[in-house]
Amino acid sequence: MSRGEPSHAGQERASDAEYGLREACGVFGCVATDSWPTDLDVAHIVHLGLIGLQHRGQESAGIVTSTGDNRQRFSSKKYMGLVNSFTEEDLKKLRGNLGIGHTRYSTQGDSDLVNVQPFVVETLHGLIAVAHNGELVNAAKLKTKLLLHGVGLSTGSDSELVTQLLTHQPDCGEPNGANWIGRIQKMMSEAPLSYSLLILIVDRIYAIRDPFGNRPLVLGKVLPTTIPLSGGKSLKNGGDNDGWVVSSESCSLHAVGAVYYREVLPGEIVEISREGIKSKCIVPRPEAKLPAFCIFEYVYFARPDSIMEGQMVHSVRQRCGRRLALECPVDVDLVSCVPESACPAAMEYASTLGLPYREVLCKNRYVGRTFIQPSMRLRQLGVAKKFGPLTDNFRNKRIVLVDDSIVRGNTMAAIVRLLKNFGAKEVHIRVASPPLRYPCYMGINIPTREELIANNMSIAEIAEFIGAESVAYLSIEGLVEAVQEGIEKKEEHGHCTACLSGQYPVNPDW
């Protein structure tokens, strides 16, 4: 991700964040198996994989491919904008036997082509390409170290820091040639989190998660077209497959003809080549701490059909709604939600309390990013542009509106005002996650503490500010229990709740 001015200083991103939180980016890679040159259209597969991850970033997209036989030449194409900016002609020119891609949302810094990933740099052993999801908590220290070593930095991105660290030889000095595992281990020892990385090196891809497993990363198996896709199978390494893919989320696998294989483990370095996948090593966490997987992947960021920690995100959101109903019931006529990530929680909230569920807002899915508007009238019309009221469903009714989170409260205030202007008798707000009180330093665009409404107002004051009859949140304990209920080996899993509790896995250095 990009690092420059603090996240609240960018007016475009500040305005965009009023509609919710934003993930930093998504990564996707593909390696064809067996004989090369391959019949597998790697560039198209990476492109389709990125489309499946478009919700993780909409500012820019890039693809880098390799034929696997020339360490001095990669094919690359990058665009500002959505993944569908790529043309058929672009993808033809990107033909190769393996490739990686990246789709980006910058939480900090400038939105420029120079910051578009994957980054490609030349090393002593040839070119490498790097795609990064996350944010380095010790970026300032690493930047100073690189500058003191005479390394020039050009993008203002901590993803560039990762790339430059990989150009450094490991302590062994590489007497027997390239030691990429040693280089990666050295980088991981200097950067504890947060990252999921794809590194393209001539004829293979390395897939890496930081030792805390803060950001998601999964492996998939590309099946021949003669084999039907189905979930839940235990797949062996090798066998009947045309290739391997790696993705920020499993939701993108089905669209490329792949099936879920497994997660990349926290701290794991996985090598993906034409021969298959190999787990090279696992870098341990400091002080034997538990993993710190971002709990907001379940709440908001991930697509509901993704599988994380062995469970479907949609099911976790349903359990959040059930627990929210038990913790925060209310006497109303109907239940609804702010589309779309809160809908599973809202429906389960209604079912648990025996209340009818009705849609009260129609979302315009073709509204792009919103920017600071030049007049008060245009700012007030921002929500009206994104949501339309389904008045027949709620006129003269008492509504409980379920949302996944409240950041600044401006959007929720506008929604409550919209519903009441069109006839709602009462509007109660229930939030299927705890109050956001602290900023995130690990790749999520959460504003400063001063901008977070829950950090400055009591629950009663929040209700008054947004114009609702009442407001209530799911507890931290309730959220953690909803997440861990579907995990088999709970003692091996841990979750980062820093934005809710202020307890960070490691202390950031800025």
**CA pair distance 91, 81, nearest whole angstrom:** 16
Please report where in the chains the tokens 């036997």 appear, as a residue.
97
Give residues with Cβ within 8 angstroms of 87, minimum separation 6.
Answer: none
Q: How would you class 368 by CB atoms within 10 Å of its CB: exposed for 0-12, middle for 13-18, buried for 19 or more?
A: exposed
118: its two tokens: 């994957």
151: its two tokens: 């390394």
**CA pair distance 144, 94, nearest whole angstrom:** 36
- What is the dihedral sign for C-alpha 446, 161, 78, 219? negative
Closest CA to 66 of 360, 274, 319: 274
Q: Which of 25, 251, 328, 337 is catalytic?
A: 25
Q: Are strands 387-389 and 398-403 parallel, antiparallel or unpaired?
A: unpaired
Q: Is 404 annotated as a binding residue?
A: yes
Catalytic residue status for 337: no
Amino acid at 341: S
438: its two tokens: 């602290």
Quick check: helix, strand or coil at residue 312?
strand
Element (H, E) at 326: helix 313-327
**CA pair distance 19, 21, nearest whole angstrom:** 7
Q: Are 262 and 219 in contact (CB under 8 A)?
A: yes
Quick check: helix, strand or coil at residue 60?
strand
Edge-first strand listing for the sheet containing 243-247: 75-80, 60-66, 98-104, 25-32, 243-247, 218-222, 258-263
233 phi and psi angles, rounded to 5 deg: -85, 145
Q: Are 146 and 136 in contact (CB under 8 A)?
A: no
Q: Is 111 annotated as a binding residue?
A: no
DSSP per position, 141-208: HHHHHHHHTT----S-BHHHHHHHHTTSPPTT--TTS--HHHHHHHHHHH--S-EEEEEEETTEEEEE
- What is the dihedral sign for C-alpha 348, 483, 299, 198? negative
Q: Is 251 annotated as a binding residue?
A: no
Q: Is 499 annotated as a binding residue?
A: yes
Q: Is 337 annotated as a binding residue?
A: no
387: its two tokens: 């949501």
Q: How many CB atoms lie within 10 A of CB 224?
A: 10
Instruction: List, as residue ranges, the binding site.
Output: 294, 341, 403-404, 440, 496, 499
Instruction: List, as residue ranges, the binding site for Mg(2+).
Output: 341, 403-404
Catalytic residue positions, numbered: 25
Instruction: List, as residue ranges, the binding site for [4Fe-4S] cluster.
Output: 294, 440, 496, 499
